Structure 1
Amino acid sequence: MKLGFIGCGNMAGAMLGGILKEELLKKDEIIASTSSAKSLQRVRECFGICTALSNREVAEKSEILVLAVKPQYYEEIIEEIRECISDSQIVVSIAPGKSLDWLEERFGKPLKLVRCMPNTPALVGEGITGVCRNRRVEDGELEQVCRILRSCGETEVLSEHLMDVVVSVSGSSPAYVFLFIEAMADAAVADGMPRAQAYKFASQAILGSARMVLETGRHPGELKDMVCSPGGTTIEAVRVLEEKGFRSAVIEAMKACVRKAKGM
């Protein structure tokens, strides 16, 4: 199988790192293009894969082609490569807001199309990616794509109408979590803890809490109640968070994220 990437930023880099670490493909089975000779050199040095300055060359040589550029460049890239794409290839989009119908309309012909929404924890092998496909992608072909995506985290196949929700709950949510970690650390620093230590305590607490949800299968509310002793310190902190609208702020932020994704 020949796998191609048009664009090789953070998400493509995370996928490449996982693919090579898991030995899913050999380096000479992967080809990538970037916008400049300098970034192309960086990709070669980092991953040792085949590279090209021509997007058309990558499109022509790929059985599975990942469009890993920012959403605002999709129309330009598709216009450039669409004549090179055949109905036997699988085109994978990682752009929010670009529906399967939108992609097919821009290519101007029926193609095998997969949409996915990864997130930046893929950089450390802990990503989760939502995936959907059009009717031309067969089960075995979808599994090929998912196998690639699973090299840097979890993968969930779902209906396309949920893809904008995936953007809010996983694609964008690392930023909310980083903001929370930063706020927790700031508070710890205000109470006298050195900053590096504060970041470590806050980050490990969130990592461990997430593992408890995933590994115990218990409802998050039940796990929260386990920490909240009657008249204790934790329930007092929870009371203040609720008073300040913490839960509502998170919900409204995620709903705003979905609205933005739908409008892209």
Structure 2
Amino acid sequence: MFQSIGFLGTGQMGGALARAAVKGAQGARVLLANRTPAKAQALADQLGCQATDNQTVAAQCQLIFLGVKPQMMEGLLKSIAPVLAGRKDRFVLASMAAGLTARRIQELAGADYPVIRLMPNTPAEVGAGVIQFCGVDVEPGELKDFQTLLAPAGLVDQVDEGLIDAACALSGCGPAFCALLAEALADGAVACGLPRDKARRYAAQTMEGTAKLMRQTGAHPGAVKDAVCSPGGSTIQGVRVLEANGFRAAAIDAVIAAFEKTQALGKG
């Protein structure tokens, strides 16, 4: 198991993974660094770990999370490259930057360091996230330890790197799509007279319950839909309107658009 874990960047995603890591670290040392030191300190105080700076994380941690946006990655790695180059012990870099391959992270870091590439989503903050990951020059035991470390965040699944961008377009971008749908459903209920607070609660619970039903029963989404659509009933009329307005086509196109943008980020 990793004995020291560091986070370079404690924004929404970095902070969410830090929360999970503290739970899964089995007593390992966790260090937090952020461009705004006060932000790292505030999170460290909440989690009972240590706030520090980028150079200390780069010098001391066996697993180093690179929690910055793709366009900031080159600058971050350039700033810590001399520290990494001076290390004699083994360490692993973990990048969550959309579009940047593990090999690209190695290029930016200046050497063929072991790299784990991961794609988390925002529900990881409440232990209900999805995290896909893959490794380059990483030992099988390290990948297993990584999966155990982040298990408190939700579903942690190893995939081939060629699938990472597609996975990001689905589960990484998906919370925004789901939230948009929940908001629209709630708006519809408000239009029918339901109070706003109840409409939002009912929409969120309905989405959560439907997802749980599919996970636990293994039912195909179409079967779940069919089970609600009684002949001549209300639900099938709502489904008819959704189909007439291109609901499924729009959802498919949204994922494809997110996928294409993710790939463009890597090329940029």
Q: What is the TM-score normalised by the length of structure 1?
A: 0.95
User: 1:213-241 CA deviation, whole Å, 9 max, x = no partner?
Assistant: 10101111111111111111111100110
- Match of 2:199, SS state, is helix
Measured in 1, the distance between the counterparts of 2:75 and 2:24 equals 33
1:189 aligns with 2:190: yes
Measured in 2, the distance between the counterparts of 1:101 and 1:23 equals 27
Give the fraction of aligned pairs with identical amino acids, expressed as a percent.
Answer: 37
Q: In structure 2, which of residues 126, 138, 141 is the aligned counterpart of residue 124 of structure 1?
A: 126
CA contact (8 A) 2:6 2:31 kept: yes
Measured in 1, the distance between the counterparts of 2:40 and 2:224 equals 47
Stretches of structure 2 that go unaligned for 5 or more consecutive residues are none
Determine the structure 1 residue equivalent to 2:110: 108
Which one-letter code corresponds to 2:192 in the other structure?
D
* Structure 1 position 110, deviation (Å): 1.1
- Residues 173 and 82 (structure 1 numbering): CA distance in 2 closer, same or farther, change over 3 Å? same
* Structure 1 position 196, deviation (Å): 0.6
Determine the structure 1 residue equivalent to 2:200: 199
* Structure 1 position 101, deviation (Å): 1.5
* Structure 1 position 38, deviation (Å): 2.2
Measured in 2, the distance between the counterparts of 1:20 and 1:105 equals 30
CA contact (8 A) 2:98 2:262 kept: yes
Determine the structure 1 residue equivalent to 2:238: 237
* Structure 1 position 15, deviation (Å): 1.9
Residues 239-254 of structure 1 aligned to structure 2 (within 5 Å): 239-254=240-255
CA contact (8 A) 2:168 2:259 kept: yes
Determine the structure 2 residue equivalent to 1:42: 42
CA contact (8 A) 1:90 1:112 kept: yes
CA contact (8 A) 1:91 1:113 kept: yes
Measured in 2, the distance between the counterparts of 1:38 and 1:17 equals 17
Measured in 1, the distance between the counterparts of 2:162 and 2:24 equals 31
- Match of 1:263, SS state, is helix
* Structure 1 position 45, deviation (Å): 2.3
1:11 aligns with 2:10: no
Which one-letter code corresponds to 1:130 in the other structure?
Q
Which one-letter code corresponds to 1:49 in the other structure?
C
- Residues 238 and 99 (structure 1 numbering): CA distance in 2 closer, same or farther, change over 3 Å? same
Determine the structure 1 residue equivalent to 2:150: 149
Q: In structure 1, which of residues 81, 92, 95 is the aligned counterpart of residue 94 of structure 2?
A: 92
CA contact (8 A) 1:19 1:25 kept: no
* Structure 1 position 121, deviation (Å): 0.4
Determine the structure 2 residue equivalent to 1:30: 30
| Bigger shift: residues 77-86 or 11-20 | 11-20
Q: What is the TM-score normalised by the length of structure 2?
A: 0.93
1:65 aligns with 2:67: no
* Structure 1 position 57, deviation (Å): 1.2
- Match of 1:109, SS state, is coil
CA contact (8 A) 1:119 1:171 kept: yes
CA contact (8 A) 2:13 2:67 kept: yes
For the aligned residues, what is the CA RMSD? Answer: 1.3
